Amino acid sequence: MARDLTLFDSAISGNSYKCRLLLAQLGLPYKKVPVDILKGESRTPEFKAMNPFYRVPFLIDGDFKLGESNAILIWLARGSTLYPDDPKTQARIQEWMFFEQNQLEASVAVVRYVRTWAANDPTTPAIIEAQARRGPRSLQVLEDHLKSHDWLVGNAYSIADICLFGYTPLAPDAGWPLDPYPAIRAWIERVKHTPGFVPMQ
């Protein structure tokens, strides 16, 4: 029986894009439900009742519901070459995925959001200031690794690459251009040439 997948999604969300990219590369058909996060559609009582995390992305797979983009990536990629069975490879992939949420996404996604959609909010300068070091530092961690590796884990494209691809290309929107990071720019081009790649918008 065909898998019944629904993704609650926002076109402007890098976390949602990670899931769209994986679904496309796995060739999995799914129903996309757009959520206008700028209009507060992720904060309505109805949405919260379905999804206690009240954020996108959110996946419904048959009768199984799952939030958090990286949990969704792992769930969907299990059994595919994008998340190999080997436990140490999986641990390495997860290492990058935790780094992404704690360092890169935490800085790039947040600063991009406030610069783009909350520029006049009085709290915005303090938020930008709080992330001023973390953003470039996480880009440098990525750059240092990619100087000597084509992919984040082992010799193959995996959900670690998909995960980091969500926000790394958006770093310029957070005020951190990618000119000082040639290895990251080369990796971005490699990811764009993987089979089934789809752009964010």
Structure tokens at 16: 């949602």
Which lies closer to ligand GSH via its Cβ, residue 130 or residue 186? 130
CB of 55 to ligand GSH, least distance (A): 3
CA neighbor of 181 nearest in space, from 130, 128, 156, 145: 145
Rounded least distance, CB 182 to ligand GSH, Å: 28
**Residue (of 2, 5, 22, 25) closest to 14 by Cα position:** 22
Instruction: Pick the closer one to ligand GSH by CB: 18 or 184.
Output: 18
Q: Which of 18, 1, 9 is nearest to 200 (CA)?
A: 18
> Hey, how many other C-beta atoms are within 10 angstroms of the C-beta on 90?
17
Q: How far is the CB of 54 from ligand GSH (least distance, A)?
A: 6
Nearer to ligand GSH among residue 37 and residue 60 (C-beta): 37
Q: Which positions touch ligand GSH (CB under 6 A)?
A: 10, 13, 15, 37, 42-43, 54-57, 68-70, 101, 109
Among residues 6 and 183, whose Cβ is nearest to ligand GSH?
6
Rounded Cα gap, residues 66 and 89, in angstroms: 23
| Contact predicate 161/100, CB 8 Å | no
To ligand GSH, the closest distance from the beta carbon of 180 in angstroms equals 25
